[in-house]
Amino acid sequence: MNNAASAQGVGAPVIHAAPPRPSYIPPFGLRTVIGCLGMLLAVHVAGFNEHVTEIGLSDIRGAMHIGHDEGTWVIAIYEAFNIAAMAFTPWFYMTFSIYRFSIFMTAIMALLSIPAPFMPDVTSLCILRAFQGLTAGCLPPVLMTVMLKYLPPEIRVFGIGGYAMSATFGSNLGLPLEAFWFECMGWHWLYWEIIPTAALAIAMMAYGLPKDPMHFERFEKFNWLGLLVGLPAICSLVVVLYQGDRLDWFRSPVITDLTFWGGAAFIVFVINEAFHPSPYFRIQYWRSRNIQAALLSLVGILAICAIMGDIPATYLSAVRGYRPIQTAPVSLVVALPQLIMLPLIAAFCNSRKVDCRFVLAGGMLCLAASAWLGTWLTVDWVRDNFYPLQILQVFGQPMTVIPTLMLATLAMGPADGPFISGMVNMLKGLANAVAYALFAALTRRREQYHSTMLLDHHGTHGLALQGMGNPITQQLSVTSPDSVHVARNSLQVFHTYVHEQALVLALNDIYYVLIWVCLGYACMNLILPRRVYPPRRLPPILQPANPEYRL
């Protein structure tokens, strides 16, 4: 055998082993930092485009002569395509390269905002916002991969904190930005405000992100069925969440049909993803206890944070008559400290002595304490009364979001980044839709219940107090000699009081529900997930030859 081998080696060409494929991960330095910050800015631009136009919808409707019902479809369609795009983005940026895909989507998103204020009707505006939502939804999954791929292991948790900024800092900054652009620049800038920041983000990404190659050979195994079935399925389910309460849920044929066909298509999509050789995300990840706890917690935590942000805005607008510019300080109290709290929590969780599960449980207790303080809400509250609640959320939001993302990402292997990225971001977007649906349904139903109880109580005991007179009529009697006019105004004022009290009681009920939900999530994350450790650089002898997707 040795003779044969030596005979074969005589005169035969020398065959060398194929060199390892380049990883296209540049040495970490200032240029990489600029590229990552550009990607982070692009994701914030997409978030501002979502939240600012959603919060300022009433002003946009007044300027564009759009009715209330039509305006809700503008939001629902944008959110549907925004969330659906997150599920399919990782496959496309792996094919077209992170560098080209990110710059292209950011540019298209900014360009589509230019004609938005000049759309002639609601249909054309909805179509434009659908494409804009599609491009905006492509950016958050790229940010997660960029932070995990290009940052060294020692500071990768800070990258997770940067990604968490899009869920805590950006969402709370939407209301102050809407107030500034509308009051100072005009309603057109509710659409145009993303243009200068998008241009800056593109310049930073063009300079800092590595120009990795494109892989068009991936189209040979393109998952056509998953795209054709999954995109309309996710869009249908998101529309159900945004339009369900307004259309009275399953009493509406539209909601019924979208739920049935969208649910059936989503089941087909999940089955296809489980067996397709080139899936958009791997359903098998749900077998991991850490993934189960992290993804369930991510949806719940972001929904809790969104509802806690909606309650003060709803109360101050409906009861106190505040404009967004007057409500803005309440959101700024949560938003601005995140620039300090997120790096601090990331540095704290980056220590191997710290168990992120206990940090997460502590954050849930902070949110539960904030909800408990909210149960003292009365019609006498003003903006300053919400500051203690918001200060607790300053600590609670980063303490919950960062450990949850650590549990979801740090338990994965080197090549799992793109597959977990799409799943995490789709559920992150879905949390906003769930929060919108829950807040609308709970507010309406509890307000109706308390209104009925208050009116029933007044009808039962009204005669017992008749001898004491009607204080509303007594105060209004001096304004007009017409007794019929005074009686009509008295009835209107009485119903205004009932509405305010019913709304406050409904918001109190929501705070009580949030307390128990927060405590439930705190217990779940102490029991279900296993501990994960912050990553550290491996010795050179243990490093993989081709770390194309380093996690």
Tell me the mean pLDDT in the region 254-268. Answer: 92
Task: Report the number of distinct structural domains present in the chain.
Answer: 2
Q: Provide the mean pLDDT of the chain.
A: 82
Q: How many CB atoms lie within 10 A of CB 385?
A: 17
Confidence class for position 93, pLDDT limits 50, 70, 90 = confident
pLDDT of residue 234: 92
Q: For residue 352, tell me if it sits in a domain.
A: yes
Does the pLDDT value for residue 166 go beyond 70?
Answer: yes
The C-alpha angle 507, 512, 515, rounded to 5 degrees, equals 125
Classify burial at 436, counting beta carbons within 10 Å of its beta carbon; exposed 0-12, middle 13-18, buried 19 or more. Answer: buried
The answer to whether 433 touches 291, Cβ cutoff 8 Å, is no
> Within a 13 Å sphere around the CA of 546, how many CA atoms are in the beta-carbon half?
6
Confidence class for position 533, pLDDT limits 50, 70, 90 = confident
Domain shared by 424 and 508, yes or no = yes
Taking alpha carbons only, the member of 426, 406, 141 closest to residue 270 is: 426
Does the pLDDT value for residue 266 go beyond 80?
Answer: yes
Confidence class for position 14, pLDDT limits 50, 70, 90 = very low
Q: How far apart are CA 389 and CA 385, in angstroms?
A: 8
Q: For residue 57, tell me if it sits in a domain.
A: yes
pLDDT of residue 1: 43
pLDDT of residue 323: 83
Confidence class for position 539, pLDDT limits 50, 70, 90 = low
Domain shared by 216 and 320, yes or no = no
pTM of the entire predicted model: 0.83
Domain shared by 293 and 195, yes or no = no
Q: How many CB atoms lie within 10 A of CB 125?
A: 24
Q: For residue 20, tell me if it sits in a domain.
A: no
Does the pLDDT value for residue 538 go beyond 60?
Answer: no
Tell me the mean pLDDT in the region 364-390. Answer: 92
Q: How far apart are CA 503 and CA 327, in angstroms?
A: 18
**Which residue shows structure tokens 């795209």?**
227
Q: How far apart are CA 52 and CA 180, in angstroms?
A: 10
Q: For residue 264, tell me if it sits in a domain.
A: no
Domain shared by 362 and 502, yes or no = yes
The alpha-helical segments, DSSP class H, found in 350-468 are 356-374, 387-409, 417-461
The answer to whether 315 touches 309, Cβ cutoff 8 Å, is no
pLDDT digits 0-9 by tens, 59-78: 788 888 888 888 889 889 99
pLDDT digits 0-9 by tens, 28-46: 778 888 888 999 999 988 8
Taking alpha carbons only, the member of 265, 255, 171 closest to residue 225 is: 265
Q: How far is CA 67 from CA 70, 72, 155, 203, 373, in A?
A: 5, 9, 49, 39, 37
Q: For residue 270, tell me if it sits in a domain.
A: no
Tell me the mean pLDDT in the region 351-369. Answer: 90
pLDDT of residue 537: 64
Does the pLDDT value for residue 508 go beyond 90?
Answer: yes
pLDDT of residue 16: 42
Q: How far apart are CA 306 and CA 167, in angstroms?
A: 10
Domain shared by 431 and 308, yes or no = yes
Residue numbers of the domain that contains 178? 26-222
Does the pLDDT value for residue 18 go beyond 60?
Answer: no
pLDDT of residue 551: 38
Domain C-terminal end among 222, 247, 267: 222
Q: For residue 178, tell me if it sits in a domain.
A: yes
Q: How far apart are CA 425 and CA 164, in angstroms?
A: 11
Q: How far apart are CA 214 and CA 211, in angstroms?
A: 9
The answer to whether 405 touches 164, Cβ cutoff 8 Å, is yes
Q: For residue 216, tell me if it sits in a domain.
A: yes
Domain shared by 216 and 322, yes or no = no
User: In this predicted model, which residue has the larger pLDDT, 515 or 217?
Assistant: 515
Does the pLDDT value for residue 515 go beyond 90?
Answer: yes
3-state SS class at 509: helix
pLDDT digits 0-9 by tens, 146-164: 887 788 878 888 888 888 8
N- to C-terminal Cα separation, the chain? 45
Tell me the mean pLDDT in the region 375-402. Answer: 91
Q: How far apart are CA 195 and CA 113, in angstroms?
A: 8
Does the pLDDT value for residue 467 go beyond 80?
Answer: no
CATH of the domain at 114: 1.20.1250.20
Domain shared by 217 and 303, yes or no = no
Domain shared by 314 and 213, yes or no = no
The answer to whether 305 touches 371, Cβ cutoff 8 Å, is no
pLDDT of residue 180: 80
Domain shared by 211 and 117, yes or no = yes
3-state SS class at 316: helix
3-state SS class at 78: helix
**Token digits for 224?**
């056509």
Taking alpha carbons only, the member of 133, 48, 131 closest to residue 83 is: 133
User: In this predicted model, which residue has the larger pLDDT, 481 or 386?
Assistant: 386
Does the pLDDT value for residue 466 go beyond 80?
Answer: no
Taking alpha carbons only, the member of 521, 157, 64 closest to residue 303 is: 521
Tell me the mean pLDDT in the region 82-102. Answer: 88
Q: How far apart are CA 39 and CA 171, in angstroms?
A: 17
Q: DSSP states of 53-64 as a string?
A: HHHTHHHHHHHH
Q: For residue 549, tell me if it sits in a domain.
A: no
Domain shared by 429 and 293, yes or no = yes
The answer to whether 77 touches 232, Cβ cutoff 8 Å, is no
pLDDT of residue 455: 82
Give the E-state strand segments of 143-187 in sequence order: none
Tell me the mean pLDDT in the region 223-251. Answer: 90
pLDDT of residue 77: 92
Confidence class for position 550, pLDDT limits 50, 70, 90 = very low
Q: How far apart are CA 116 and CA 187, in angstroms?
A: 11
Tell me the mean pLDDT in the region 457-466. Answer: 67
